[in-house]
Amino acid sequence: MTAPATQFKAAAKTLAADLRHRSLIQTALGKYEVKRDEMKARFQDWEGARQVAADIKFEAINHLDRYLEQFVARIEARGTKVHWASTAEQARQIIVGICRDRQARRIVKSKAMTAEEIHLNQALEQAGFKVVESDLGEFIVQLRDEAPYHIVFPAMHLTRGEIKDLFDRKLGDAPSDNPEVLTMVASRVLRQEYVAADVGITGANFAVAETGMISVTENEGNARLTAALPKTMITLVGIEKIVPTLADLALFLPMLATAGAGQLLSGYNTLYGGPRQPGEADGPEAFHVVLLDNQRTALLADAEQRDALHCIRCGACLNVCPIFRNVGGQTYGTTYPGPIGSVITPHLRGLQEWKHLPFASSLCGACSEVCPVKIDLHHHLLQHRRTARAAKPVWWEKLAFRGFALLVNTPWLWRLSLAVGRVGQRFHGLVKGTKLDPAYVWTQSREAPALAGQSFKAWWRERGRGTTDHGGTGPRDRRPGTRDQGPRVTSHESSRNDPGVATKGGTAHE
Ligand code: SF4
């Protein structure tokens, strides 16, 4: 097992058993679901809107080269410097280089998952800069020195009391756990940072090719201050954030707010088209856009999974995922947790090392159902499983499946195993849940279902001796050429032993 897989399993086991954590997350997401459904109902046709959004992203991603060139030409024409970064390392070097050139010392940063992806804060701090997160949730997790819990709600795992204690410890100032008071405490600190900062770093929700503009969506106004007050602004954008036209935002902005936070529209939606122009009252003197690839073009080359690049990072798939809701975001050990994280992390960081994530799914399909841009997430998880196993088969799994095939294809062996199982389960209680239990992997956290005292086939034979309860006749009463109206037996065992019974060649159901 790889190190990330070991870490994931250990953390998942602890958190899944943490009832307080689970109830906190369920409560928060329960409220979100109510608001999200209310806002979805405000769309005339939510399903139609999803289809249009998927079509727009399909067009953008399938002609990414053309739209990126258009975006760069338009935004550079207004004095923005665009940088291309193939890797996370290159992106870090470019941003550290800009900060050095501008002789910066203090940096303020608004929420940007791409920055988390390339571990930008660590690189800037190692280079000697002071970096402060300006989004309240990010500010809180930065004070705790931990990664965001969720791509939209970074501090959703914390209670007001925990945040109050944190502010008391780190800022020496938290008179109460009232959310408004806590927000004011953070604002007081952050306002000084905006004024003192030499560089502001933001992410981007969309990059509009038609007009060469960056679209940033937020609820606190902190990204606006991050962009407007420091003399230099740097925006780090994943290349997949392109949308073809400005009009596309009329769909994507409400859709992002609805799916992501249960809002009709986020509090602030701002477009940045370049540095301060002559005659303008505010804005940065210098504006740099860093376009980040970091394996996105490799994903683009994968025709089967390319649509994972359609993601608008709304977080809706995390919110409905039964795994995420039980093990939490930090357990994943990745920048992007939940279903979308389990799809793209193997592309960003390597399938063999991260293949445990696609396996950590119930494949219920809830993620695909809520995704506003209709990414077929659970099929991508299956695809990862297939690719991972084909590239590196696990010998004991192959052996186990061969053994199982032999068992269900050999009636006497199947009957024998059931007989042994029925005797064995009488003594199972003695070792259940201990390491001596042959089914320990299952029973350490779940109940093993008991084998039925009688097989379906035996029950059916017995029932066929007399008249059925509903007044019909049992199997023995069937005349040649008539079809049995009772339950259909689809067992392999039955197909071999009872040629008259309709079969589909499946495995035996007991
Ligand atoms: S995959 Fe879909 S639901 Fe999940 S974050 Fe991306 S856009 Fe939202």
C-alpha 375 – ligand 1 centre gap (Å): 7
The CATH number that applies at residue 103 is 3.40.50.10420
Nearest CA to ligand 1 atom 6: 311
Residue 11 lies in a domain: yes
Both 60 and 172 in one domain: the answer is yes
Six-digit token string for 251: 């769909």
Both 36 and 71 in one domain: the answer is no
C-alpha 54 – ligand 1 centre gap (Å): 11
Residue 506 lies in a domain: no
Test site for ligand 1: of 314, 319, 323, 335, most ligand atoms within 8 A of the Cβ: 314
C-alpha 321 – ligand 1 centre gap (Å): 11
Each of the 510 residues of the chain gets a pLDDT tens digit; together they read 789 999 999 999 999 999 999 999 999 999 999 999 999 999 999 999 999 999 999 999 999 999 999 999 999 999 999 999 999 999 999 999 999 999 999 999 999 999 999 999 999 999 999 999 999 999 999 999 999 999 999 999 999 999 999 999 999 878 899 999 999 999 999 999 999 999 999 999 999 999 999 999 999 999 999 999 999 999 999 999 999 999 999 999 999 999 999 999 999 999 999 999 999 988 899 999 999 999 999 999 999 999 999 999 999 999 999 999 999 999 999 999 999 999 999 999 999 999 999 999 999 999 999 999 999 999 999 999 999 988 888 888 889 999 999 999 999 999 999 989 988 888 888 888 788 888 888 888 788 888 888 888 888 888 887 554 444 444 444 444 444 444 443 433 343 344 333 333 333 333
Both 103 and 177 in one domain: the answer is yes
Both 476 and 402 in one domain: the answer is yes
What pLDDT does residue 203 have? 98
Which of 352, 377, 392 terminates a domain? The answer is 392
Residue 309 lies in a domain: no
What pLDDT does residue 454 have? 83
Q: Which atom of ligand 1 is nearest to the CA of 339?
A: 4
C-alpha 260 – ligand 1 centre gap (Å): 9
In this structure, what DSSP letter does residue 482 have? Answer: P
Test site for ligand 1: of 309, 317, 343, 369, most ligand atoms within 8 A of the Cβ: 317
- Domain extent at residue 466: 397-497
- For residue 111, CA distances in Å to 51, 57, 409 come to 28, 23, 57
- CB distance 342 to 357 below 8 Å: yes
Both 281 and 367 in one domain: the answer is no
Residue 7 lies in a domain: yes
Test site for ligand 1: of 258, 310, 340, 367, most ligand atoms within 8 A of the Cβ: 340
Both 380 and 404 in one domain: the answer is no
What pLDDT does residue 466 have? 54
Report residue 405: phi and psi, to 5°: -60, -40
Both 388 and 475 in one domain: the answer is no
C-alpha 72 – ligand 1 centre gap (Å): 26
Nearest CA to ligand 1 atom 3: 371
Question: What is the DSSP annotation of 222-248?
Answer: HHHHHHHSSSEEEEEEEGGGEES-GGG
C-alpha 309 – ligand 1 centre gap (Å): 10
Which of 392, 423, 453 terminates a domain? The answer is 392
Count of other CB atoms within 10 angstroms of residue 405? 11
C-alpha 127 – ligand 1 centre gap (Å): 34
Six-digit token string for 42: 């405000």
- Protein residues with CB under 6 Å of any ligand 1 atom: 259, 311-317, 340, 370-373, 375, 377
- CB distance 470 to 463 below 8 Å: no
Q: Which atom of ligand 1 is nearest to the CA of 259?
A: 8
Both 105 and 193 in one domain: the answer is yes
C-alpha 143 – ligand 1 centre gap (Å): 28
Q: Are strands 106-109 and 130-133 parallel, antiparallel or unpaired?
A: parallel
Residue 300 lies in a domain: no
Q: Which atom of ligand 1 is nearest to the CA of 316?
A: 3
C-alpha 241 – ligand 1 centre gap (Å): 13
Test site for ligand 1: of 324, 375, 378, most ligand atoms within 8 A of the Cβ: 375
Structural domain total, the chain? 3
Count of other CB atoms within 10 angstroms of residue 97? 13
Residues pairing with 82 in the sheet = 289
Which of 392, 418, 448 terminates a domain? The answer is 392
- CB distance 148 to 109 below 8 Å: no
Both 97 and 53 in one domain: the answer is yes
Residue 28 to residue 25: CA distance in whole angstroms: 5
Both 90 and 35 in one domain: the answer is no
Both 473 and 490 in one domain: the answer is yes
Nearest CA to ligand 1 atom 7: 311
Residue 303 lies in a domain: no
C-alpha 431 – ligand 1 centre gap (Å): 44
Q: Looking at the whole model, is its pTM more than 0.85?
A: no
Q: Which atom of ligand 1 is nearest to the CA of 312?
A: 7
Residue 312 lies in a domain: no
Residue 219 to residue 152: CA distance in whole angstroms: 11
Nearest CA to ligand 1 atom 8: 314
Residue 419 lies in a domain: yes
C-alpha 90 – ligand 1 centre gap (Å): 27
Both 97 and 12 in one domain: the answer is no
